[in-house]
Amino acid sequence: MKTIKSMLILFSVLVALAGCGTNSATSNADSKSNVATSSVDLSKVTIRMGETGWARSQEGLKAAGLQNTPYKVEYSVFQGGNMQLEAMAANHLDLATSSEIPPIFASQSGNGGNFKVIGFYEGTTLNQELVVPKGSNSKVMADLKGKKVAYVKATTSQYFLLKMLKQAGMTWDDIIPVQMSTSDGLIALVGGKVDALAGYGNAIITAHQQGATVLVSAKDILSGNFMIEATPDAINDPAKHAAIVDYLSRLDKAYEWAAANPEKWAEIIAVNTHEPFDQSLITFKEGNAQRPNKVKPTSMGAIASEQDVSDVFLEAGVLKNKIDVSSFWSHAFDEEIKRITRE
């Protein structure tokens, strides 16, 4: 019980990291933002930005000395990209990030989800795993037949769980799927309420700290494409549009700074995820070696990748109708993203 309470406190702390993201301090690094914004007044602009797990982008900009934006950024932290898009649908966010999965489901809402995918960033697929608790007798997927498996609906965890089952010659009906949030799934796993957890990020890091082991890794299942979503209002507002371009430029430079300063960035990760520094450094270096973070414009390849994901859900019966994912992608930022980011 004490262990479960401590994990609840951990997740409360991570959520509490959300807050206002600007700083009054100036920095020479800020001058590196090469976006022309003279035609609009950014001083009156506020971008409401969503993040998953912890305030990674906010901390990244601060560490790289790029946080002194000419506009205000308000950060909110969620447990998953699906929750970010729910907030966007309610007009509580202007900009969000997620895996490929949440937009597929959000697009089916009455208002089309109130978002467009304006680009994506490449990132690591490590720490996306199907894990079993300490002492589990399950060694392969077939051992989970008839057992309870926690997952997060409409996220990568549901997608890679479907793929893992298919690879093992199993179906969704061969397990007892239990829909939970990442924090609830972790608590259920450690508390013996479920037999496995399909999770990601902090939940997987903490699960390993509690003795959980990997049954199957999703690192070679997932594409590593993480969507960047904006509301149509933000896209069409000249001032917010310009602010988003500037923000994405800074974000790409922050990724570059982290890659060049792995020890400093690992210290920040360790503080925010409550994992040992050595572990965070190894994980970051391995993730960066696998797929460095880079902001990218909308591309046919990225759209095709998400279409494949959508078709997997359709084949599994999770979706009732085929979705053309290109309908919620936008090319409104393509040329600007090409100009401001690295090759």
Q: Give tens-digit pLDDT for 83-142.
A: 999 999 999 999 999 999 999 999 988 777 999 999 999 999 999 999 999 999 999 999
Domain boundary among 200, 217, 234: 217
Residue numbers in the chain where pLDDT is lower than 50: 1-37
pLDDT of residue 25: 32
pLDDT of residue 97: 96
- Give the residue numbers spanning the domain of 231: 2-124+223-340
Identify the CATH number of the domain in which residue 140 sits.
3.40.190.10
User: Could you tell me if 92 and 134 lie in one domain?
Assistant: no
What pTM value is reported for the model?
Answer: 0.83
Number of folded domains that form the chain: 2
User: Could you tell me if 53 and 6 lie in one domain?
Assistant: yes
User: Could you tell me if 288 and 149 lie in one domain?
Assistant: no
pLDDT of residue 86: 95
Nearest by Cα to 18 from 83, 68, 104, 103: 83
User: Could you tell me if 248 and 264 lie in one domain?
Assistant: yes
Crossing angle of helices 262-273 and 56-63, in 10° steps, is 140
User: Could you tell me if 117 and 184 lie in one domain?
Assistant: no
User: Could you tell me if 136 and 163 lie in one domain?
Assistant: yes
Crossing angle of helices 238-260 and 277-290, in 10° steps, is 110
User: Could you tell me if 267 and 188 lie in one domain?
Assistant: no
Domain boundary among 217, 241, 264: 217
Contact 103, 115 (CB under 8 A): yes
pLDDT of residue 69: 98
User: Could you tell me if 267 and 233 lie in one domain?
Assistant: yes
Angular region, 194: left φ>0, alpha ψ -120 to 50, beta rest: beta
Query: Tokens 């989970």 appear where?
Result: 144
Provide the greatest CA pair distance for the chain.
63
Locate all alpha helices (DSSP H) within the chain, ordered by sequence: 2-16, 56-63, 81-89, 101-106, 156-167, 182-190, 202-209, 232-236, 238-260, 262-273, 277-290, 300-315, 334-340
User: Could you tell me if 153 and 232 lie in one domain?
Assistant: no
Contacts of 189 (CB under 8 A, 6+ apart): 131, 132, 133, 150, 196, 197, 207, 212
pLDDT of residue 39: 77
Distance spanning both ends of the chain, measured CA to CA: 50
